[in-house]
């Protein structure tokens, strides 16, 4: 009797779950359900608690676009890599990931994401996809990166003594041919005033940092172009810039914090290497955005 009751309850639960699962999109041979979108919504809130203040309908649309982006990347990656492979490097990436959330251990991280109806295996795969995507971009485009080491060395030498470091967040957006940049910027400004910078990054930014509310981290002024430094110098903490025209779109930068760094005992070679890596990553990120746009245009995306 008990066994029969348990079986009946299981099938009732299964049927209820099945009835509530709806396929809403198909990307090539990958399907996306309403449950996938809801989980992505929960994931975005886990990364940025302010995201829950965004209008639910709009937030679910953002979550849908986010999962579409992930699926397109996954489909491209699987042409070259096995996503099931384990690596020590991935463990380090995951550790850095949860440290940014203010968590101290994998155990804390697992408990944290469980509050949002997520499990560690799912999140690990998401991080794996981003990590392998970066690996793919590096292998495809690293030889195209152009870095003038002498110019970078000159930048470092100019900053002997003190330099400024900025804690930055970003919104990178594009303006379609028929869309005025200033109108798009005004729209983003209204969003920032309404739901904050982080949630506006979730909504409008095309950068990979959009999932984490546009968080870039600490950046020294010698890692930035003269144009950007000049704009940042005019900003106070919690202020943001007007759009900066870049190859891949328009960039809005917010200053979260500022600190001064003493460079009395500056290690030129060490700083040069750091600056070279930063410049390489910046160029590769530009190429990543361009490459993603290309494969997205070639993907078959069908609403169901």
The pTM of the whole model exceeds 0.85 = no
Q: 139 and 172, same structural domain?
A: no
Alpha carbon distances (Å) from 275 to 134, 152, 164, 236, 270: 19, 7, 15, 25, 9
* pLDDT tens by residue, 139-193: 999 999 999 999 988 888 876 667 899 999 999 998 876 568 889 999 999 999 9
Q: 139 and 21, same structural domain?
A: yes
pLDDT at residue 58, rounded to an integer: 92
Q: 111 and 66, same structural domain?
A: yes
Question: Euclidean distance between the first and final Cα of the chain, in Å?
Answer: 42
Q: 103 and 168, same structural domain?
A: no
For residue 273, pLDDT beyond 60: yes
Task: Choose one of 115, 143, 171: the last residue of a domain.
Answer: 143
Task: Choose one of 143, 178, 195: the last residue of a domain.
Answer: 143
Q: 49 and 127, same structural domain?
A: yes
Domain count, the chain: 2
CATH code assigned at 215 = 3.10.50.40
* pLDDT tens by residue, 281-303: 999 999 999 999 999 999 998 88
Q: How much is the average pLDDT of 252-258?
A: 97
> Does residue 173 belong to any structural domain of this protein?
yes
Q: CB of 188 within 8 A of CB of 243? A: no
**DSSP character at residue 54:** S
For residue 126, pLDDT beyond 80: yes
Q: Which domain holds residue 176?
A: 157-267
For residue 9, pLDDT beyond 70: no
Kindly state the percentage of the chain with pLDDT values over 70.
Answer: 91
Tokens describing residue 252:
């809005």
């Amino acid at each position: 009797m008990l066994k029969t009751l348990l079986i009946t309850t299981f099938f009732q639960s299964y049927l209820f779950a099945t009835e509530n699962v709806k396929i809403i999109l198909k990307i090539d041979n990958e399907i996306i359900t309403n449950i996938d979108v809801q989980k992505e919504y929960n994931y975005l809130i886990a990364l940025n608690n302010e995201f829950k203040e965004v209008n639910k309908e709009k937030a679910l649309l953002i979550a849908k676009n986010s999962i579409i982006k992930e699926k397109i990347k996954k489909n491209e990656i699987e042409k070259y890599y096995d996503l099931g492979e384990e690596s020590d490097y991935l463990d380090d990436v995951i550790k850095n990931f949860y440290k940014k959330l203010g968590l101290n251990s994998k155990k804390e991280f697992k408990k944290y994401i469980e509050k949002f109806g997520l499990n560690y295996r799912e999140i690990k795969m998401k991080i794996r996809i981003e990590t392998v995507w970066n690996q793919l971009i590096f292998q495809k485009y690293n030889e195209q990166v152009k870095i003038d080491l002498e110019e970078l060395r000159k930048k470092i030498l100019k900053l002997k003594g003190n330099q400024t470091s900025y804690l930055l967040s970003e919104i990178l957006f594009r303006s379609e041919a028929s869309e005025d940049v200033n109108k798009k910027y005004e729209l983003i400004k209204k969003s920032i005033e309404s739901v904050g910078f982080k949630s506006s990054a979730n909504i409008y930014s095309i950068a990979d940092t959009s999932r984490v509310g546009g968080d870039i981290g600490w950046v020294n002024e010698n890692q930035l172009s003269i144009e950007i430094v000049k704009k940042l110098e005019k900003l106070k903490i919690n202020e943001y810039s007007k759009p900066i025209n870049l190859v891949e779109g328009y960039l809005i930068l917010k200053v979260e914090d500022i600190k001064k760094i003493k460079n009395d005992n500056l290690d030129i070679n060490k700083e040069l290497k750091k600056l070279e890596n930063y410049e390489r990553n910046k160029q590769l990120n530009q190429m990543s955005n361009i490459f993603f746009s290309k494969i997205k245009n070639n993907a078959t995306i069908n609403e169901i």
